[in-house]
Amino acid sequence: AGAGAGAGAGAGAKGAAAGVRKTDIRVATVNALLDANTPFVIWGPPGIGKSRQIEAIAAARGWHCEVILGSIREPQDLTGFPAVGDDGTFTLLAPNYVRRITEAISAAAEADAAGHGAILFLDEVSNCSPPQQAAMLRILTDRVVGETPLPASCRIVLAANPTDQATDGWDLAAPMANRMLHLTWDSPDPADWIAGLLANWGQPDPEAGADLDRVIEARGLVAGFISARPNLLHDLPSNEAQASGAWPSPRSWADMVISGLAVAATITHPELRGAVERDIVTGAVGEATGLEFLVWRRDQDLVDPALLLEFPDDFIAPDRADRLHATLAAVASLAIGRGDIDSWSCAWVVLGHAAQVGHAEVAAVAARALVINRPHDAPLPPQIAAFATMLRAAGLLPEVQQ
């Protein structure tokens, strides 16, 4: 599974080609550039998941990803620290992140890992001042930090917010900009983002238990809400003062709302729990969106998804589309979180009942999430036929045919 983020200017159109998911284009483009050892910068609004996508791609390749925020680094963090040697001459010492990259690649090579490598990820470079950018220039030009060359299998990736959306933003200097390929990403496709969210973007989950159960439940709630209100996945205010506060983005939903709801669920006092949830949600995505989410959740009156997976043939689809979105997202979240074939197959039975009564379009988001997060060796369920047209349009039919 992958978080939504994708290729644009410099590597194809912003939107996905017909029958190909935006996420697939973006992942394929990044992998091609990594294979070609071409430095590149990803431009996109804050909060859309640029960093998460690069980290997920690195993890999928089994690579170490070293993230450096150049804007909070001194130039010598990038050019090397001057030191006097035993012979009285100056040398430039590389910072620790170079050692971590080198050691990670060496360890992978010793383990005989195929295609071992690493990514030096220079994030938020549009916040870097001219002296910081100048310090990065030698890394891009000579692949050297201090006097230490980067390993041959280390790749250089950068990310930046458009200058008008970056805190104290700086345009990239022409010599630096001309040394890399430029990609432009917009907000991820909501359905693809949900599929990534429900699988935690392929990253390890907490150990099984009550904590994980609460996280999975919170993921299902957020997935259900975004299914019903896709326009609220990413809504960067145009007003600078409002943009300096809380507003909804893929990052704020995934990194703040879900963890906050999971922790707040441990509070036993109902009024106190509700007040804490309100503070957390509105503090993460803003007052208007946060209250809309909380009112939406209150109105759902959801059936326990564990019961639906245990007795999927007893499912009766709610009449209201928003409740059906929430119910199916909760079922998909639990099935994907469990990761076993039985739960995944039972989730398809629930979706099949929804499709039989004319709700295949509403169930399509959950269907996409289940297809993308299909357990290894899971047989294709018969219910998938009801979604074949939608899955083909989303570029997922090849996965279905496997």
- Domain borders along the chain are 22-184, 190-401
Rounded to whole angstroms, the Cα distance separating 211 from 215 reads: 6
Q: What is the mean pLDDT of residues 53-71?
A: 91
Rounded to whole angstroms, the Cα distance separating 218 from 330 reads: 9
* DSSP E strand boundaries for 326-372: none
Residue 238 DSSP code: S
Task: Find out whether 287 and 296 touch, Cβ atoms under 8 Å.
Answer: no
Label residue 112 exposed, middle or buried (CB < 10 Å: 0-12, 13-18, 19+): exposed
Residue 278 pLDDT exceeds 50: yes
Residue 10 pLDDT exceeds 60: no
Say which range, 22-31, 161-170, 193-202, 218-227, has the weakest mean pLDDT: 161-170
8 vs 402: which has the higher pLDDT: 402
Instruction: Please report which helix (H) or strand (E) contains residue 321, including its range.
Output: helix 321-338
Q: Which amino acid would we find at residue 324?
A: L
Radius of gyration of the chain (CA): 23
4 vs 313: which has the higher pLDDT: 313
pLDDT of residue 6: 33
- With bands split at pLDDT 50, 70 and 90, how would you rate the model's confidence at 206? low
Residue 307 CA, chain-centre distance (Å), reads 29
pLDDT of residue 57: 93
22-184 folds as Rossmann fold (3.40.50)
Residue 17 pLDDT exceeds 70: no
Listed in sequence order, the residues at least 6 apart from 197 whose beta carbon sits closer than 8 Å to its beta carbon are 3, 219, 222, 223, 253, 254
Residue 1 pLDDT exceeds 50: no
- Phi first, then psi, for residue 47 (nearest 5°) are 85, 5
| pTM summary value | 0.80
Residue 4 pLDDT exceeds 50: no
Angle of helix 190-198 relative to helix 22-36, nearest 10 degrees? 70
Q: What is the mean pLDDT of the chain?
A: 87
Query: 273-289 burial, b if ≥16 CB within 10 A, otherwise e?
Result: eeebbeebbbbbbbeeb
Which of 152-161, 210-219, 240-249 has the highest average model confidence (pLDDT)? Answer: 152-161
| pLDDT tens digit sequence for 367-388 | 999 998 999 899 999 999 999 8
Task: Find out whether 117 and 105 touch, Cβ atoms under 8 Å.
Answer: yes
Rounded to whole angstroms, the Cα distance separating 62 from 118 reads: 9
pLDDT of residue 331: 95
Task: Find out whether 332 and 223 touch, Cβ atoms under 8 Å.
Answer: yes
* CA geometry: angle 154, 159, 163, nearest 5 deg: 150
265 vs 201: which has the higher pLDDT: 265
Q: Which amino acid would we find at residue 109?
A: A
pLDDT of residue 312: 96
323 vs 157: which has the higher pLDDT: 157
Rounded to whole angstroms, the Cα distance separating 219 from 231 reads: 18
